[in-house]
Amino acid sequence: MDKVLRVGIIGAGGIAKAVHIPNYLKQSNKVKIVAITDVVKANAESAAKEFHIDQVFTDYQEMLDAAELDAVSVCTPNKFHAGATIAALQAGCHVICEKPPAMTVKEAQKMAETAKQYGKILTYGLSFRHTPEVGALKRFVDANELGEIYAARVHAIRRRGIPGWGVFTNKELQGGGPLIDIGVHMLDTALYLMGYPEPDTVFGVTYQKLGNKPGVGLAGSWDWENFSIEDMARGMVTFKNGASIILESAFAANTEKHDEMSVSLMGENGGADVFPLKMYQEKHHTLIDTTPSFLPVKDNYELQMERFVDCCLNEYQPISTAEQGVILQKIINGLYESADKGESIKLFAE
Residue at 324 is within a domain: no
**Are 188 and 229 within one domain?**
yes
CA atoms within 13 A on the CB side of 33: 25
Instruction: Determine the Cα angle at 188 with ends 31 and 86, to 5°.
Output: 50
φ and ψ at residue 290, rounded to 5 degrees: -125, 130
* Domain around 224: 129-298+329-346
Whether 210 contacts 252, CB under 8 Å: yes
Say what the pLDDT of residue 297 is. 84
Residue 4 neighbours by CB distance under 10 Å: 15
Indicate the pLDDT class of residue 296, thresholds 50, 70 and 90.
Answer: confident
How sure is the predictor about 1, in pLDDT bands with cuts at 50, 70 and 90? very low
pLDDT averaged over every residue in the chain: 96
If asked whether residues 35 and 97 sit together in one domain, one would say yes
Q: Give the CATH number of the domain where residue 107 resides.
A: 3.40.50.720
- State whether 110 and 228 are in the same domain: no
pLDDT tens per residue, range 63-98: 999 999 999 999 999 999 999 999 999 999 999 999
Q: How many domains does the chain have?
A: 2
Q: Tell me the percentage of the chain whose pLDDT exceeds 70.
A: 99
Strand extents, DSSP E, 219-285: 232-239, 244-250, 259-267, 271-273, 278-283
Over residues 102-110, the mean pLDDT reads 98
What CATH number is associated with residue 162? 3.30.360.10
Same domain, 203 and 334: yes
pLDDT at residue 210 greater than cutoff 90: yes
Q: What is the pTM of this model?
A: 0.96
Claim to verify: residue 84 and residue 185 sit in the same structural domain: no
- Residue 102 pLDDT > 80: yes
Please give the pLDDT value at position 349.
Answer: 54
| pLDDT of 42 over the 60 cut | yes
Q: What does the alpha-carbon distance between residue 5 and residue 48 come to, in Å, rounded to a whole number?
A: 18
